[in-house]
C-alpha cells in the first residue's frame, strides 16, 4: 500500500500543487446533473412499462447513458485539474474505467424503477452505487501518465468513499421521498437529478482532494491545455447528445407502447359501443352528430353515414326539435344544465316518422378546446306497454274489487232474505208445543242457519277490512267485563269438551279502557273459539297484562300446536295449518285473518308461538288508552218492555211480512202492512203510527225515497217526525249511511232477531217519544239485570225448558249431599275434599245453564288451588247465595210448573240404548245419519245428567265430523259394557 497512499516522510515541498479550471468544473457538474435527470426519466418510463422486456430496455439504455455521463463528468473533472507538468492518459485503462460507472448506474436504476423500496435494499443499493462510482473514479485516476508520482491521503480517501456511499443513499432516498409530495413530475425530476448529479460530482472532487502529486514541476505544453479544453467540450457534447438520444429512444418506445394501449382501448371501446343494447350518439358543441352506433341505427332507422355531420335535432319531434340548440348554447354559455348530466324520459323521431319512447342520459366529454357530448338512449317501449298494461290491470282489479263488493252486498241481501224467514219461523216454532224429535230437528235447522249467517258475516268483515272501509268506535268500556262475558259465553262449550277455561286478569290492572268493545270481543271470541276447537284435553287460558304502556293479551292452549311453517301462514285468509285440519276440525280459516286485520286496524300487533303437540300461545299487543267507567247501559227490551204500539211495516217479501206479523202481534202491537213505497205513503197519509219498519229495497218507490217523502210531508205539515227503522239484508256501511241520510232513525239487519228488533224499537222510542207505561218493580229490574239461570243456553243443551227445569230441580235437591259446601275453617291445607266438591259443582251448574254458580265455583276452586285462603268465607257465602238465587229463579219460572204437569217419560231401557248406540255407530261408519237413533241416545244421556255430551255428539254429527262422533259412541259403548258387568 506504500505505492498508493502518501508516506509521512514525504516533505510538503516535494508535492506539486495543482488547480482546477472553474469552467470545466462547472461543465462537469452540469453534465452529471443532466445525465442523472435523463436517467431518472428513463426509470419513470421503465416503471410505467407493462412489458418486462420494455422495462429492462429502458433500464439498460438509461444505465448506459448515466454511466457515460458519470465517466464524462469524471474525465472532464480530470481535464480541469491543472498541474505544472505534462499529463497524459493511458487509453486502455481510461476506457475500462467506464465499466464500474455503468454497473453502478444499472444498480441505481434497478432500485429507482421499483414502485417502493425497503430500507435495507436502499442502503445496499447506496453502498453498491457508491462503490461503483468510487471504483470508476480511482481507476480513471490510475490512467494518468506524468513524471511526478500520484499518491492519496488515507483520511481523505476514506472520506471520499464515505461521501460516495452516503450521497448515493441520499439521492436514492430523495427520489422515493419526492413521490409522496405534491410536486409535479418535472419538479421531482429536476430536484432528484440535481441531488444525484451533486452526489456524483461530490464524490469525484472529494477524491481529487485526496490526491497528492510528488515530484518536480515542469512547464506544460500550451497545445495540450488547448486540447484538454477542446476534448472536454467535445466529450460533454457527445455525452449530452447520447443521453438525449437514449431518452428520446425510450420516449419513442413508451409512445409506441401507449399508442398500442390506446389502440387496444379504442378497439375495446368500439366493441362495447357497437354491441351495446343502448343507442350511443356523440355530438359536438353545435349539436352535429359525430358518432352513431349500430343500436342507434336500429332504434331510429337511420344509417350512421346518413346522420353523421347533421344536427341531432333531426331525431327529435316538436317542440324539442326547435328548443334543442338553445339548450346547448345556454349550457355552453352559462353552465346551467337542463339536459346535460341527467337522465329523463323523452320521445324520439324515427326515420319513418313514427315516435318511440326512450330513456335519455347525456354526459359531457372533457377535451381541451372542444366540447363533446355523449348521449345514451334506451328503448322503453316494452316498459311503457307494461306500465300501460299494469294501469289497465289495476283499473280492472279495482273494478273487480268494486264488483266483488257489489256482488257480496247483493248476495248478502239475497241470502239474508230467505234466512230471515228460516230463522224467524224456526224461532216461532220452537216456542210452540212439539215432541222431542221435532224440537231436535228445528234446533239443527236453527244452528245450521246461524252458522251460515256467521260465515257470511266473516266474509263481509274480511272484505271491508281489506278495502279499509271498516270503522272502529272509541268508547269507554270495561275490558275486564268484556273478557268475563266472552269467557261466560264459551264456558259451556269448554265444559262439554271437558276443558278448563280460565281468565287471568290482574287485580292491579285498570279494568276501564277506551276503544271498540264489540270488535275486541270479536277478537277474543275468535281466538278463544279456535283454542277450544283445536284443544282435545287440558286447558285454555286468557291472560291480561300491561307491557310498555300497551295491553298485552295472551290466549294459551294445550292443543295440537303448529309447526313454524304452519304458524307463518295462520293469519292468511282461508288458510289453516293443513288440509287435514279443515277435514278434522272444520272452519274456513277466516277467523284468525279477521283477528289480525282488526288488531292491526286498532294499531296493535299479533304473533303466535307454537310447538307441535304442546299447544299454542297468541300474543296481542293493543295501544288502548285508559278510560273511565262507562255510563250504565240503557235498559233493553227485557228490562223495559214495550207497551202496545201502532206499527207500519213495509216489505216486498210476503214471508218477511208474515214473520213480522207473528213477532209483533205476539207482543200485543197493532200492525199495518205495506208491500212497496207507494203503499207506505198511502197508509202513512191515512193515520199516524208510533214507528215505521221500512224495507230499504222494494220495487217502485224504495224505502229510501219513501222515507224522504215522509220527512218532507212532516216538515211541511209541522208534524213531529215518526221514528223509522230500516229493514235490510245488507250490512254494508254505505247502506247505513244512505239510510241515515234519507232520514231513518234506526237499523235492523235481516235475518231479524226478535229481541234485537224489539230493542231497536225501544231505542228509537226512548225518552219522551216512548208511550207511557207502568213503572217496573225495582226488585224485578234487578232480578232481570242479573239472571241466575241462563235459560237459552240451558235449553240448547237440554232441548226444552221443562226438561231443563226438571234437571235443575233435581240438582238443587241433591246438591247438599253430592256437592256440599264446606266452611272456610273446615278446608284442609290441601283442600282435596273442597276441590272435589267445587269441581263437580262447577261442571254440573255449567251444564244446567247456572252460569253465576259455575263462575263463582270456578273462582273459588282456583283460589284454593293457588293457596289463597283470604276471604274464603265470603266466596263460599256468595256461592250459597247464588244457589239460592237459582232456586228462586227456578220456582219463578213457568217451566217448572209445566215440568210438574208433564212428568218425564220412562227412561229408555239399557238394552235398547245399547242397540241404538250400535245402530248409530253403523250409520256413522257408512257416513249416514239416523235421527231416531240419535234422539234415543241423547234422551239417555240427558236422563243420565250428561246433556253436554249429547250436545257435543249432536254438533259432531251436524258438522259431519264422523271421526269425533265415532270416538264418543265407542266410549259410550265401553261405559255401557262396564255398567252391565257391575250390575247384579
The pLDDT tens digits for 497-529 are 778 888 999 988 998 999 888 788 888 988 888
Task: Flag the least confident range among 556-560, 824-828, 845-849, 926-930.
Answer: 824-828
Task: Flag the least confident range among 10-19, 181-190, 268-277, 621-630.
Answer: 10-19
Residue % of the chain over a pLDDT of 70: 70
Please report which confidence band the pLDDT of residue 619 belongs to, taking 50, 70 and 90 as the band edges. Answer: very high
Please report which confidence band the pLDDT of residue 786 belongs to, taking 50, 70 and 90 as the band edges. Answer: very low
Rounded mean pLDDT of 443-449? 73
Whole-angstrom Cα distance, residue 506 to residue 980? 49
Q: What pTM was computed for the model?
A: 0.41
- Determine the pLDDT at residue 724: 93
| β partners of residue 291 | 282
Answer yes or no: is pLDDT of 799 > 80: no
Task: Flag the least confident range among 133-137, 447-451, 706-710, 776-780.
Answer: 776-780
Dihedral class, residue 323 (left if φ above 0, else alpha if ψ from -120 to 50, else beta): alpha
Whole-angstrom Cα distance, residue 894 to residue 23? 146
* Residue 433 cell numbers, joined: 208445543
Rounded mean pLDDT of 910-931? 74
Q: Residue 541, SS3?
A: strand
Cα of 273 vs its chain's centroid, Å: 40
Query: Of 338, 356, 334, which Cα lies nearest the Cα of 347?
Result: 356
Rounded mean pLDDT of 852-860? 80
Q: Which range has the top average pLDDT, 57-61, 199-203, 614-618, 656-660?
A: 614-618
- Determine the pLDDT at residue 772: 41
Q: Quick one: which H or E segment has residue 724?
A: strand 724-728
- Determine the pLDDT at residue 635: 41
3-class secondary structure per residue, 318-371? CCHHHHHHHHHHHHHHHCCCCCCCCEEEEEEECCCCCEEEEEEEEEEEEECCEE
Could you read off the pLDDT of 250-260 as tens digits, one per residue?
A: 666 666 666 67
Higher pLDDT, 614 or 157: 614
All domains in the chain, ordered by first residue: 15-256 (no CATH), 276-379 (3.30.450.20), 471-626 (3.30.565.10), 646-769 (3.40.50.2300), 785-901 (1.20.120), 910-982 (no CATH)
Rounded mean pLDDT of 917-933? 74
Rounded mean pLDDT of 588-595? 67
- Determine the pLDDT at residue 10: 56
Rounded mean pLDDT of 102-106? 74
Those residues whose C-beta lies under 8 Å from the C-beta of residue 88, and which sit 6 or more positions away, are 144, 145, 146
Answer yes or no: is pLDDT of 570 > 60: yes
Whole-angstrom Cα distance, residue 461 to residue 523? 12
Task: Report the C-alpha dihedral over residues 294, 297, 303, 305, rounded to 10 degrees.
Answer: -60
Rounded mean pLDDT of 218-226? 49
- Determine the pLDDT at residue 769: 45
| β partners of residue 289 | 283
Answer yes or no: is pLDDT of 404 > 80: no
How does DSSP classify residue 909?
A: P
Answer yes or no: is pLDDT of 283 > 70: yes
Please report which confidence band the pLDDT of residue 553 belongs to, taking 50, 70 and 90 as the band edges. Answer: very high
Q: Residue 632, SS3?
A: coil
- Determine the pLDDT at residue 1: 47
Amino acid at each position: 500500500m506504500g505505492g498508493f497512499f502518501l508516506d509521512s516522510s514525504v516533505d510538503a515541498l516535494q508535492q506539486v500543487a495543482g488547480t482546477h479550471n472553474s469552467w470545466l468544473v462547472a461543465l462537469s457538474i452540469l453534465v452529471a446533473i443532466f445525465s442523472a435527470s435523463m436517467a431518472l426519466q428513463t426509470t419513470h418510463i421503465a416503471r410505467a412499462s407493462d412489458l418486462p422486456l420494455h422495462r429492462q430496455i429502458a433500464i439498460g439504455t438509461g444505465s448506459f447513458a448515466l454511466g457515460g455521463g458519470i465517466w464524462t463528468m469524471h474525465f472532464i473533472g480530470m481535464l480541469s485539474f491543472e498541474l505544472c507538468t505534462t499529463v497524459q492518459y493511458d487509453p486502455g485503462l481510461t476506457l475500462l474505467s467506464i465499466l464500474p460507472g455503468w454497473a453502478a448506474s444499472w444498480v441505481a436504476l434497478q432500485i429507482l424503477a421499483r414502485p417502493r423500496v425497503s430500507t435495507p435494499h436502499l442502503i445496499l443499493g447506496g453502498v453498491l452505487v457508491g462503490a461503483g462510482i468510487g471504483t470508476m473514479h480511482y481507476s480513471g485516476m490510475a490512467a494518468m501518465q506524468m513524471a511526478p508520482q500520484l499518491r492519496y491521503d488515507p483520511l481523505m480517501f476514506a472520506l471520499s468513499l464515505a461521501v460516495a456511499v452516503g450521497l448515493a443513499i441520499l439521492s436514492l432516498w430523495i427520489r422515493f421521498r419526492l413521490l409522496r409530495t405534491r410536486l409535479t413530475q418535472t419538479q421531482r425530476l429536476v430536484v432528484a437529478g440535481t441531488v444525484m448529479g451533486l452526489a456524483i460530482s461530490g464524490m469525484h472532487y472529494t477524491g481529487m482532494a485526496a490526491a497528492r502529486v510528488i515530484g518536480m514541476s515542469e512547464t506544460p505544453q500550451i497545445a495540450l491545455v488547448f486540447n484538454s479544453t477542446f476534448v472536454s467540450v467535445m466529450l460533454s457534447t457527445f455525452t449530452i447528445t447520447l443521453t438525449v438520444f437514449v431518452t428520446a429512444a425510450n420516449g419513442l418506445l413508451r409512445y409506441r407502447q401507449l399508442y398500442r394501449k390506446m389502440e387496444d382501448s379504442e378497439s375495446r371501446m368500439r366493441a362495447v359501443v357497437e354491441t351495446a343494447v343502448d343507442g350511443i350518439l356523440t355530438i359536438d358543441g353545435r349539436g352535429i352528430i359525430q358518432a352513431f352506433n349500430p343500436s342507434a341505427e336500429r332504434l331510429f332507422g337511420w344509417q350512421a353515414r346518413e346522420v353523421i355531420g347533421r344536427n341531432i335535432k333531426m331525431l327529435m319531434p316538436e317542440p324539442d326539435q326547435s328548443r334543442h340548440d338553445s339548450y346547448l348554447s345556454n349550457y355552453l354559455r352559462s353552465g346551467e344544465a337542463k339536459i346535460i348530466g341527467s337522465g329523463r324520459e323523452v320521445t324520439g323521431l324515427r326515420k319513418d316518422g313514427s315516435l318511440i319512447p326512450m330513456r335519455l342520459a347525456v354526459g359531457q366529454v372533457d377535451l381541451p378546446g372542444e366540447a363533446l357530448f355523449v348521449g345514451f338512449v334506451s328503448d322503453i317501449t316494452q316498459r311503457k306497454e307494461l306500465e300501460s298494461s299494469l294501469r289497465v290491470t289495476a283499473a280492472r282489479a279495482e273494478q273487480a274489487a268494486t264488483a266483488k263488493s257489489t256482488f257480496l252486498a247483493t248476495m248478502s241481501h239475497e241470502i239474508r232474505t230467505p234466512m230471515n224467514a228460516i230463522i224467524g219461523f224456526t224461532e216461532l216454532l220452537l216456542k210452540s208445543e212439539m215432541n222431542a224429535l221435532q224440537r231436535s230437528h228445528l234446533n239443527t235447522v236453527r244452528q245450521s242457519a246461524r252458522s251460515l249467517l256467521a260465515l257470511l258475516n266473516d266474509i263481509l268483515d274480511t272484505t271491508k277490512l281489506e278495502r279499509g272501509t271498516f270503522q272502529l268506535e272509541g268508547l269507554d268500556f270495561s275490558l275486564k267485563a268484556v273478557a268475563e262475558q266472552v269467557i261466560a259465553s264459551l264456558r259451556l262449550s269448554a265444559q262439554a269438551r271437558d276443558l278448563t277455561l280460565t281468565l287471568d286478569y290482574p287485580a292491579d290492572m285498570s279494568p276501564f279502557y277506551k276503544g271498540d268493545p264489540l270488535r275486541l270481543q270479536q277478537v277474543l271470541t275468535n281466538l278463544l273459539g279456535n283454542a277450544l276447537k283445536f284443544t282435545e284435553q287440558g286447558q285454555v287460558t286468557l291472560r291480561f297484562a300491561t307491557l310498555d304502556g300497551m295491553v298485552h293479551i295472551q290466549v294459551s292452549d294445550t292443543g295440537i300446536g303448529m309447526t313454524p311453517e304452519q304458524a307463518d301462514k295462520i293469519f292468511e285468509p282461508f288458510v289453516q295449518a293443513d288440509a287435514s285440519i279443515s277435514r278434522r276440525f272444520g272452519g274456513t280459516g277466516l277467523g284468525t285473518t279477521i283477528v289480525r286485520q282488526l288488531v292491526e286496524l286498532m294499531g296493535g300487533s299479533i304473533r303466535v308461538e307454537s310447538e307441535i303437540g304442546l299447544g299454542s300461545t297468541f300474543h296481542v299487543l293493543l295501544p288502548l288508552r285508559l278510560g273511565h267507567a262507562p255510563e250504565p247501559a240503557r235498559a233493553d227490551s227485557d228490562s223495559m218492555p214495550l207497551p202496545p204500539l201502532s206499527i207500519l211495516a213495509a216489505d216486498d217479501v210476503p214471508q218477511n211480512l208474515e214473520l213480522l206479523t207473528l213477532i209483533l202481534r205476539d207482543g200485543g202491537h197493532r200492525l199495518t202492512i205495506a208491500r212497496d213505497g207507494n203503499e207506505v205513503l198511502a197508509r202513512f197519509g191515512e193515520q199516524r203510527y208510533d214507528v215505521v219498519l221500512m224495507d230499504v229495497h222494494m220495487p217502485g218507490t224504495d224505502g229510501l225515497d219513501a222515507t224522504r217523502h215522509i220527512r218532507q210531508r212532516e216538515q211541511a205539515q209541522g208534524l213531529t217526525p215518526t221514528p223509522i227503522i230500516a229493514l235490510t239484508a245488507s250490512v254494508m256501511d254505505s247502506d247505513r249511511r244512505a239510510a241515515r241520510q234519507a232520514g231513518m232513525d234506526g237499523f235492523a239487519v235481516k235475518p231479524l232477531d226478535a229481541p234485537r228488533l224489539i230493542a231497536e224499537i225501544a231505542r228509537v222510542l226512548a225518552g219522551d217519544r216512548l208511550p207511557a207505561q207502568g213503572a217496573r218493580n225495582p226488585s224485578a229490574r234487578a232480578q232481570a239485570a242479573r239472571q241466575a239461570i241462563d235459560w237459552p243456553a240451558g235449553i240448547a243443551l237440554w232441548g226444552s225448558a221443562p226438561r231443563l227445569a226438571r234437571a235443575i230441580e233435581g240438582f238443587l235437591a241433591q246438591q247438599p249431599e253430592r256437592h256440599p259446601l264446606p266452611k272456610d275453617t273446615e278446608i284442609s291445607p290441601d283442600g282435596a275434599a273442597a276441590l272435589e266438591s267445587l269441581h263437580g259443582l262447577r261442571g254440573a251448574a255449567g251444564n244446567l245453564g247456572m252460569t253465576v254458580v259455575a263462575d263463582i265455583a270456578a273462582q273459588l276452586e282456583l283460589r284454593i288451588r293457588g293457596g289463597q285462603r283470604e276471604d274464603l268465607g265470603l266466596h263460599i257465602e256468595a256461592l250459597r247465595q247464588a244457589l239460592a238465587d237459582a232456586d228462586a229463579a227456578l220456582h219463578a219460572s213457568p217451566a217448572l210448573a209445566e215440568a210438574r204437569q208433564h212428568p218425564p217419560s220412562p227412561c229408555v231401557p239399557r238394552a235398547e240404548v245399547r242397540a241404538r248406540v250400535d245402530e248409530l255407530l253403523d250409520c256413522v261408519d257408512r257416513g249416514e245419519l239416523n235421527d231416531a237413533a240419535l234422539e234415543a241416545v241423547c234422551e239417555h244421556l240427558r236422563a243420565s245428567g250428561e246433556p253436554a255430551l249429547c250436545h257435543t255428539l249432536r254438533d259432531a254429527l251436524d258438522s259431519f265430523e264422523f271421526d269425533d262422533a265415532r270416538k264418543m259412541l265407542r266410549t259410550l259403548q265401553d261405559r255401557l259394557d262396564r255398567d252391565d258387568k257391575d250390575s247384579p
